[in-house]
Amino acid sequence: RRIGELERYLGTQLFHRTTRSLSLTNKGDAYYQDLQKVLTLLDSANQQASNESIEVRGKIKLGLLPETYEHRQPMLFEFQDQYPQVELDIRNINNGFIDMFQQGLDIALHGGMLFDSDIVARKILTLDRCVVASPNYLQTHGTPATLEELSDHQCICFRWPNGNVDNLWHFQEQN
């Protein structure tokens, strides 16, 4: 009822409503982000007025791909040591950007290309890929001697959450 009153007061829809879910509209998300800024400023002003030291605290919803948990643990432990008053709520983002929006994540570490222009993103690292084959495959199909011979072989390609297949390979000569 209160949400409806707020939407009528503002003259805009803040939420998408279905029988199974409730999610923010673009305007609702912008309104929420602006309110978060106001609350942060209010909190900062209160702390300065009371001469408290400013301490980073709160909750961060962080989305990670399950296969990266092990590699991210040292970074997460270091963050928790540095900011003990911050609660990390770590979520699984198997379903890419859909999960990011449905789960209301603050931050997500995602691998691959970006498909939504509304997302603010920054590249933090580049991963090199390599071509591998099992000994059984090579025994059955032969070992390619040149890059051109790879086109005669079977390959497993990665499919992005939007359905696109990543089958374009770039090779560099060593050294």
Q: Tens digit of pLDDT for each residue in 112-143?
A: 666 656 677 777 766 677 888 999 999 999 99
Which has the closest alpha carbon to 167: 129, 118, 141, 139? Answer: 129
In a domain? residue 19: yes
Instruction: Give the model's pLDDT for residue 140.
Output: 94
Is residue 109 predicted with pLDDT exceeding 90? Answer: no
- For 41-61, what is the mean pLDDT? 77
In a domain? residue 109: no
In a domain? residue 44: yes
> Positive or negative CA dihedral for 34, 36, 42, 47?
negative
In a domain? residue 5: yes
Instruction: Give the model's pLDDT for residue 120.
Output: 76
Q: How confident is the model at residue 173 (pLDDT cuts 50, 70, 90)?
A: confident
Structure-model confidence comparison of residues 77 and 70, the more confident one: 77
- For 5-26, what is the mean pLDDT? 85
- For 57-67, what is the mean pLDDT? 84
In a domain? residue 82: no
Instruction: Give the model's pLDDT for residue 22.
Output: 80
Cut 0.75: pTM above it: no
Percent of the chain's residues with pLDDT above 90: 9
CATH number of the domain where residue 3 is located:
1.10.10.10
Tokens representing 24?
């923010």
**Domains of the chain: total:** 1
In a domain? residue 125: no
In a domain? residue 49: yes
Is residue 26 predicted with pLDDT exceeding 70? Answer: yes
Please give the residue range of the domain that contains residue 50: 1-54
102 CB-near residues (< 8 Å, 6+ apart)? 21, 23
In a domain? residue 108: no
Percent of the chain's residues with pLDDT above 70: 85
